Amino acid sequence: MIARFIHDKIPVETGFIIAAHAFEVFIEHNAIAESLDELLKESDHSSATQVAKIAKTIKAKILRGEFPPDLISSITKMYLSLDSPRVMLTPSFFVD
C-alpha cells in the first residue's frame, strides 16, 4: 500500500516497520505463551461469554508485559534515525 502511495505522489513520511517477530519476542520475554496455551485448552470455545473472558485475560497479560531492553533499544535507535519526529502506527496488514 505504501508503495502505491509513493507511486501516486502521495506524501509518505519516512519510517520503519516493527515486524511480528518483535511481538513474538515480547510474548516470549513475558512468558505469556505458556499461560495462553493453558487458558485456551481449558476454555469452552462455543461460549461467547467464555471467549470474551479469555480475550480480556489475554489483553490484560499483554498490557502488563514489559518490553525487553534489546527491543526497546532497537526501536529507539530506529526512531532516532528518522528525519521527522512524527510517528504513525498502523497494523501490519496495511504494509505491502
Q: Give the 3-state secondary structure of the chain.
A: CHHHHHHCCCCCCCCCCCCHHHHHHHHHHCCHHHHHHHHHHHCCCCCHHHHHHHHHHHHHHHHHCCCCHHHHHHHHHHHHCCCCCCCCCCCHHHCC
Query: pLDDT band for position 1 (50/70/90)?
Result: low
Instruction: Look up the pTM and report it.
Output: 0.66
Q: How confident is the model at residue 56 (pLDDT cuts 50, 70, 90)?
A: very high
Convert the pLDDT of each residue in 11-48 to its tens digit. Answer: 777 777 777 888 899 999 999 988 888 888 888 888 89
